[in-house]
Amino acid sequence: MLKNMYQKIQNNQRITSDEGLTLLQKTPLLELGELASIVRYRKNPKPQVTFVVDTNPNYTNVCTIDCIFCAFYRHPGEDGEYTYTVDHLIQQFKESAAKGVTTVLLQGGVNPNLPFDFYLELVRRTRKEVPEIYPHFFSVSEIVGMSEVSGLSIGEVLQQLWDAGMRSLPGGGAEILSDRVKKKISNKKETADLWIDVMRRAHKIGYKSTATMMYGHIETEEEIIEHLERIRSLQNETAGFTAFIPWSFKPGNTPLEKIIPHYASPTRYLQILALSRIYLDNFPHVQASWFSEGKKIGQVALHFGADDFGGTLLEENVHAAANYVSKTNTEEVIDIIRQAGFIPVQRTTLYEIVKVYGN
């Protein structure tokens, strides 16, 4: 079995979903790592690892979707709820830009009290007042929320945001693209089909986006493959994804903690990462998620198919709410990449090179 797979991957042939499942269930860790390396070096032949200097604030924690894997949100009117003004956020972005940040990954809450104009104004003013910063704003759930608040179609929402100056979307909110799973862990969120559909429309307008997967809760291995299969087919159609980012569910302070008390193991993470690199043969990049798996495993991930170390994430709130705190800075990211044996390269959101850090 392994021998055939090896030949197939070396000959750049596509892996079927059955084969994907076999890789996930039966292939020893280092064999997967080896196969993933073949694909990684075909896609990104240089021994470089990219990263982006970014920050990940949240403009509101008000949310009505009630995902049981989330410890961050508050209901409208609940203690501890907050929503920042556009002025406040612009000021925050300016401070970040002064620290060298090039990308702001901004997400909610899906706050039903915010009008669509809030979002448009935020994008316009960001482009105008903080041009150093690239607005990598709003997950699919928020796009759907804007459509509901404004009565506009999803296509129209995306078009107006584009006209305001947005060019890319973060890939969050995908969790596991299977309606069975979504119904159980995020009943009020968009369906798997809708997530794909929003991304399709966005890519067709010209947006680039990432895709994510949050595993390690109630999904089956078949559903992991289903997730990968769905985004691989969409990428065939649109070529709009820049990178794939898997991470493991963090149970702290979430309702799901009662059922899933432990983090998925690092071995599992490396397997899933390597499988993703092999399976998603039409994705240019796969990111190591040092933030969710820890810096040590994030570093090891660079040998299991990842060619990107993600962002420096100067601010982050969602994992922090689950008592999972991890911090870094640009110097440390450069060190970590170097120690792993690669050349660190700072990039933009769209993978343009900012700076190569030689040895």
Which CB, 34 or 121, lies closer to other proteins? 34
Before 171, cis peptide (omega within 30)?
A: no
Give the tokens for residue 178: 């299977």
First to last CA, the chain: 40
Question: Which of 156, 222, 315, 335 forms a contact with other proteins (CB under 8 A)?
Answer: 335
Piece in contact with other proteins (CB under 8 A), picked from 75-83, 99-107, 138-146, 339-347: 339-347
Question: Which of 300, 306, 333, 334 forms a contact with other proteins (CB under 8 A)?
Answer: 300
Question: Which of 20, 33, 172, 344 forms a contact with other proteins (CB under 8 A)?
Answer: 33
Burial 177-187 (b: 16+ CB within 10 A, else e): bbeebbebbbe
Question: Which of 54, 219, 293, 316 forms a contact with other proteins (CB under 8 A)?
Answer: 293
Do 224 and 272 contact (CB within 8 A), yes or no?
Answer: yes
Question: Which of 187, 236, 253, 267 forms a contact with other proteins (CB under 8 A)?
Answer: 267
Q: Does 2 bind other proteins (CB under 8 A)?
A: yes
CB of 206 to other proteins, least distance (A): 37
Q: Does 325 bind other proteins (CB under 8 A)?
A: no
Tell me which residue of 44, 47, 54, 53 sits closest to 340, measured CA to CA: 47
Question: Which of 17, 68, 294, 326 forms a contact with other proteins (CB under 8 A)?
Answer: 294
Q: Measured between alpha carbons, how far is 108 from 88 in angstroms, rounded to an integer? A: 15
Helices marked H in the chain: 2-10, 17-26, 29-43, 86-98, 116-129, 140-150, 154-164, 179-185, 192-205, 221-238, 266-279, 290-293, 295-301, 318-321, 330-339
Q: Does 270 bind other proteins (CB under 8 A)?
A: yes
CB of 324 to other proteins, least distance (A): 13
CB of 281 to other proteins, least distance (A): 18
Piece in contact with other proteins (CB under 8 A), picked from 98-106, 165-173, 234-242, 265-273: 265-273
Length of the chain: 359
Contact set with other proteins (CB under 8 A): 1-2, 6, 26, 28-31, 33-34, 37-38, 41, 47, 262, 265-268, 270, 293-297, 299-300, 303-304, 335-336, 339-342
